Amino acid sequence: MKSKIPVAIAIFALSSALLMGCADPAASAHETARADAGPTNAAPPVDTTHGVTAVIGPDSAHASGARAPSREPDVIYVPTPERVVDAMLNLARVKEGDVLYDLGSGDGRIPIAAAQRFGVRGVGVDINPVRVREANANAEAAGVTGLVTFKEADLFEEDISEASVVTLYLLQSLNVKLRPKLLAELRPGTRIVSHAFDMADQWEPEQTQEIDGTRIYLWTVPEG
């Protein structure tokens, strides 16, 4: 299923959420956290020992000779901060034997971190060839090419049925659009973690956590 959301609208929506906040509390992921506010559901202490340096924008060293995406990306690329990456992995209770799919994987930092921390296999899906090149270069630098794979593909069309953990950093509207696919393809018990955006009134998160002024959400695919 292909998205029909114009990239300009997606850029405006994401930029507004990141820079100005949002009237919808569920989408106000980057609001300033109160100094005395703790996580709604605390995860284990985060680990920030790994590092991935994102190269973003048209001047990326990986842009030379890259073909254009098969269609316009749904959102602009905004890297997830490392502490938030670790909090997402903790909230999802990633463990040995999991298979993690990152939908809209950017520079690959989430699958790479999962491979480094837990030794799990990861698959990143991104429609932008430049992002896939960056992710592969980062995986090689991190020494985890045997565990992670990055695919240039449309996340709405890619088969995700083998995943036991799914990570997202999309818009709320895209999460809602993706929800039927998640429920149809993923096995019961699969954990889904989203950075910054929930699924509106379509799916209530089981847990919500605040980390460094942003918010992450957890769902588990139910039986039936």
- Residue 168 pLDDT > 60: yes
Q: Domain boundaries in the chain?
A: 7-39+72-220
- Residue 17 pLDDT > 70: no
Helix or strand holding residue 209 (H, E): strand 207-211
Residues 127, 203: Cα–Cα separation, whole Å: 26
What does the pLDDT read at residue 20?
Answer: 37
- Residue 211 pLDDT > 90: yes
- Residue 32 pLDDT > 50: no
Dump pLDDT digits (tens) for 123-138.
Answer: 999 999 999 999 999 9
- Residue 13 pLDDT > 90: no
Which residues neighbour 119 within 8 Å (Cβ) at sequence distance 6 or greater?
96, 147
pLDDT, average across residues 33-39: 35
Token reading at 51? 């590092």
pLDDT, average across residues 187-195: 98
**Hey, what CATH topology would domain 7-39+72-220 get?**
Rossmann fold (3.40.50)
What does the pLDDT read at residue 76?
Answer: 79
Any idea of the CA torsion for 142, 144, 145, 148, to the nearest 10 degrees?
Answer: -120
What does the pLDDT read at residue 54?
Answer: 41
Query: Pick the residue with more confidence: 16 or 197?
Result: 197
Range of lowest pLDDT (28-32, 40-44, 152-156, 218-222): 28-32
Dump pLDDT digits (tens) for 45-104.
Answer: 433 333 343 444 445 655 556 666 656 766 778 899 999 999 999 999 999 999 999 999
What does the pLDDT read at residue 60?
Answer: 61
- Residue 22 pLDDT > 70: no
Q: What's the maximum distance between 2 C-alpha atoms anywhere in the chain?
A: 49
Amino acid at 10: A
